[in-house]
């Protein structure tokens, strides 16, 4: 289909789309989804009347899914737009079936840690987004007075780091900072999302690794060297601290990009205790294994790290059992020079994996191999992230009243990840060359077809979202 056709489709605000397999909250069943004015007005019988509206037929080899929600995306604009940007990232999102994303407060300059910087970011995003975009604010030392101002400005919650973030303009917090900030967040009813690694175990591990490297040539090129420098203990200590602070302050707490199997028990216990405590993991922790990362392959570097095969299987078990709630991308690209791919130095390379466009097929490939259904995958990649940011009245489900954000997905079709298929600004990704199952054929945003097999609607149709619009 050509781009011109997509533009024409934008005005078709009233139609019915039906499929033999539609993922609805109750499961996967034949259904006809009635769309009017950008919303789902009814989910009816497959063979029911269309009331004279145009009918879009999805063939039997495809599944109709709710648009994906990705609550962990670094877009880096303004300030580091050479790393990524609203145009490229949201095109990648549309091509990956993602219709809603929430953008991280750091790696852009300024970082989103004041109300003014939030307005700067919204202005930078205006008119560029192909999907709906919301924003996180940041908790950094000394910005407590800004938290209610940013919250009133529409951020979905606040991110903090317990270790250095990698960029100078977003400082990490200490337990004392959190003891001051979290009661304020609890009072506001705001969500705190946490990069959960503590400094001490990493500093000790890094010193040991550097000491050992003195006698060895090229040890920084080996993945194992990096893995040893980011021990599970750093994550485990951080999760323990956050459970305690959540219990003491009552602030809703969410662990981002959880990787350590050793602290899954802490997540389970926090939930069993009834604390408002959730956690996400990412496609790379569920796909790759430390044993398989080639020497010098810094495209696999992220923090916390991809761990061993055994650890990966425990993360899958935790998803199945509900200790981990969702899978989001943590799309965090940078220019290829910063990955130091030539040198292959894992200790000096920027940590971050680019995967915004690939999340659905990456997760589906591994999930189906372990016997998980597409409904379960939709919960992890769409419904659960929508609930996290309280957008579940509008996003993440095919249900009357929700936005008509839909994905036509071919679960049995395979493709090889070629860098030129990627809409990300930079094409370096550890998924390159992998064969994945599941092709996103088309994506609808509020009833408008924004993506169709490589073609995009030429006008960005995405809206900037604010907290509170979703229920």
CA–CA distance, 4 with 351 (Å, rounded to integer): 39
For residues 165 and 443, which CB has a smaller minimum distance to Zn ion in the complex? 165
Which tokens go with 160?
A: 């903090």
For residues 330 and 405, which CB has a smaller minimum distance to Zn ion in the complex? 330
Q: How far is CA 161 from CA 106, 230, 329, 414, 441, in A?
A: 10, 15, 18, 38, 37
Cβ 43 to Zn ion, closest distance in Å? 34
Cβ 276 to Zn ion, closest distance in Å? 21
DSSP 351: P
Cβ 377 to Zn ion, closest distance in Å? 21
Cβ 192 to Zn ion, closest distance in Å? 15
CA–CA distance, 36 with 425 (Å, rounded to integer): 34
For residues 351 and 396, which CB has a smaller minimum distance to Zn ion in the complex? 351
Which residue's beta carbon is nearest to the bound Zn ion?
A: 330
For residues 325 and 330, which CB has a smaller minimum distance to Zn ion in the complex? 330
For residues 330 and 366, which CB has a smaller minimum distance to Zn ion in the complex? 330
Residues 6+ apart with CB under 8 A from 366: 283, 286, 287, 316
Which tokens go with 318?
A: 């935790």
Cβ 288 to Zn ion, closest distance in Å? 17
Cβ 300 to Zn ion, closest distance in Å? 16
Residues 6+ apart with CB under 8 A from 440: 95, 96, 97, 360, 361, 407, 408, 409, 451
For residues 236 and 330, which CB has a smaller minimum distance to Zn ion in the complex? 330
For residues 288 and 409, which CB has a smaller minimum distance to Zn ion in the complex? 288
Applying CB under 5 A, the residues found at the interface with Zn ion are 330
For residues 84 and 452, which CB has a smaller minimum distance to Zn ion in the complex? 84
For residues 104 and 251, which CB has a smaller minimum distance to Zn ion in the complex? 104
DSSP secondary structure string for all residues of 356-410? GGGHHHHHHHHHHHTT--HHHHHIIIIIHHHHHTT-TTTSSS-STTSB--EEEEE
For residues 103 and 146, which CB has a smaller minimum distance to Zn ion in the complex? 103
Cβ 168 to Zn ion, closest distance in Å? 17
Which tokens go with 353?
A: 């994996």
Cβ 111 to Zn ion, closest distance in Å? 13
Residues 6+ apart with CB under 8 A from 14: 35, 36, 37, 53, 54
> Which residue is listed with tokens 């919301």?
134
Q: Are residues 106 and 139 in contact, defined by beta-carbon separation less than 8 angstroms?
A: no
Buried b (16+ CB within 10 A) or exposed e, 120-147: bbbebbeebbbbbbbbbbbbbeebeebb
For residues 334 and 461, which CB has a smaller minimum distance to Zn ion in the complex? 334
Question: CA-based angle 438:440:442, to the nearest 5?
Answer: 150
DSSP secondary structure string for all residues of 60-100? TT-EEEEPEEEEEE---TTT-TTT--HHHHHHHHHHTTEEE
Cβ 103 to Zn ion, closest distance in Å? 11
Q: Are residues 225 and 209 in contact, defined by beta-carbon separation less than 8 angstroms?
A: yes
Q: Are residues 443 and 406 in contact, defined by beta-carbon separation less than 8 angstroms?
A: yes
Cβ 389 to Zn ion, closest distance in Å? 15
Q: Are residues 68 and 96 in contact, defined by beta-carbon separation less than 8 angstroms?
A: yes
- Whether the CA torsion 260, 264, 265, 267 is positive or negative: it is positive
Cβ 160 to Zn ion, closest distance in Å? 12
């Amino acid at each position: 289909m050509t781009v011109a056709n997509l533009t024409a489709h934008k005005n078709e605000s009233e139609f019915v789309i039906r499929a033999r397999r539609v993922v609805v909250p109750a499961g996967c069943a034949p259904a006809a989804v009635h769309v009017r004015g950008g919303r789902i007005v009814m989910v009816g019988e497959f063979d029911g009347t269309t009331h004279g509206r145009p009918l879009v037929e999805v063939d039997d080899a495809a599944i109709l899914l709710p648009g994906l929600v990705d609550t962990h995306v670094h877009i880096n604009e303004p300030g580091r737009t050479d790393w990524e940007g609203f145009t490229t990232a949201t095109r990648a999102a549309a091509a990956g079936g993602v219709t809603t994303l929430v953008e991280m407060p750091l790696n852009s300059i300024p970082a989103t840690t004041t109300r003014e910087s939030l307005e700067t970011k919204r202005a930078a995003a205006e008119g560029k987004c192909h999907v709906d975009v919301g924003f996180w604010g940041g908790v950094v030392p000394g910005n407590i007075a800004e938290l209610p101002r940013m919250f009133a400005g529409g951020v979905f919650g606040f991110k903090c780091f317990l270790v250095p973030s990698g960029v100078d303009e977003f400082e990490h917090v200490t337990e004392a900072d959190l003891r001051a900030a979290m009661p304020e967040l609890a009072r506001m009813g705001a969500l705190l999302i946490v990069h959960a690694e503590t400094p001490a175990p990493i500093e000790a591990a890094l010193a040991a690794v550097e000491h050992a490297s003195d006698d060895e040539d090229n040890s920084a090129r080996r993945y194992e060297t990096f893995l040893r420098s980011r021990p599970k203990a750093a994550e485990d200590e951080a999760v323990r601290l956050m459970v305690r602070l959540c219990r003491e302050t009552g602030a809703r707490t969410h662990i981002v990009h959880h990787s350590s199997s050793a602290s899954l028990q802490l997540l389970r216990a926090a939930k069993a205790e009834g604390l408002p405590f959730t956690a996400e993991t990412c496609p790379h922790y569920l796909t790759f294994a430390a044993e398989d990362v080639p020497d010098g392959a810094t495209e696999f570097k992220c923090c916390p790290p991809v761990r061993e095969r055994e650890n990966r299987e425990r993360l899958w078990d935790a998803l199945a059992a509900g200790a981990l709630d969702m899978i989001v991308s943590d799309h965090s690209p940078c220019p290829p020079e910063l990955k130091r791919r030539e040198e292959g130095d894992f200790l000096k390379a920027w940590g971050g994996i680019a995967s915004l466009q690939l999340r659905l097929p990456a997760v589906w490939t591994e999930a189906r191999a372990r016997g998980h259904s597409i409904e379960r995958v939709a919960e992890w990649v769409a419904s659960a992230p929508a609930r996290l940011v309280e957008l579940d009245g509008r996003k993440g489900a095919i249900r009357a009243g929700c936005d008509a954000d839909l994905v036509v997905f071919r679960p049995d079709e395979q493709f090889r990840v070629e860098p030129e298929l990627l809409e990300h600004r930079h094409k370096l990704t550890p998924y390159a060359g992998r064969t994945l199952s599941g092709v996103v054929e088309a994506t609808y945003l509020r009833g408008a077809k924004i993506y169709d097999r490589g073609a995009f609607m030429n006008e960005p149709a995405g809206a900037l979202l604010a907290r509170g619009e979703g229920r």
